[in-house]
Amino acid sequence: MNPEMKTKILWDNHYKKEKSKLKYPDENLVRILSSLPNRGKALDFGAGSGRHSVLLKDFGFEVYAADYSEKSIEQIQLLNLDIHTSIVGSPPFRLQSEEFDLIVNWGVLHYNTLEESIKILKEFYRILKPGGILAGTIRSKNDTYLKVKNTEIQIEDLKGGQIFLYSFDELKDLLKDFSYSEFGYSERSPIGKLEERICHWIFKARK
With 0-12 / 13-18 / 19 or more C-beta atoms within 10 angstroms meaning exposed / middle / buried, residue 43 is buried
Looking at residue 160, what is its pLDDT?
73
Q: Give the highest mean pLDDT range of 11-15, 92-96, 168-172, 190-194.
A: 168-172
* Total domain count, the chain: 1
The answer as to whether 99 is a domain residue is: yes
Query: Tell me, what CATH number does 101's domain have?
Result: 3.40.50.150
Domain of 103 in residue numbering reads as 3-15+34-206
Looking at residue 153, what is its pLDDT?
79
The answer as to whether 29 is a domain residue is: no
What is the radius of gyration, based on Cα positions, of the chain?
Answer: 16
pLDDT in tens, 100-132: 999 999 999 999 999 999 999 999 999 999 999
**Per-residue confidence band for 8, with pLDDT thresholds at 50, 70 and 90:** low
The answer as to whether 24 is a domain residue is: no
**CB-based contact 161:155 (threshold 8 Å):** no
**Per-residue confidence band for 152, with pLDDT thresholds at 50, 70 and 90:** confident
The answer as to whether 189 is a domain residue is: yes
pTM (predicted TM-score): 0.90
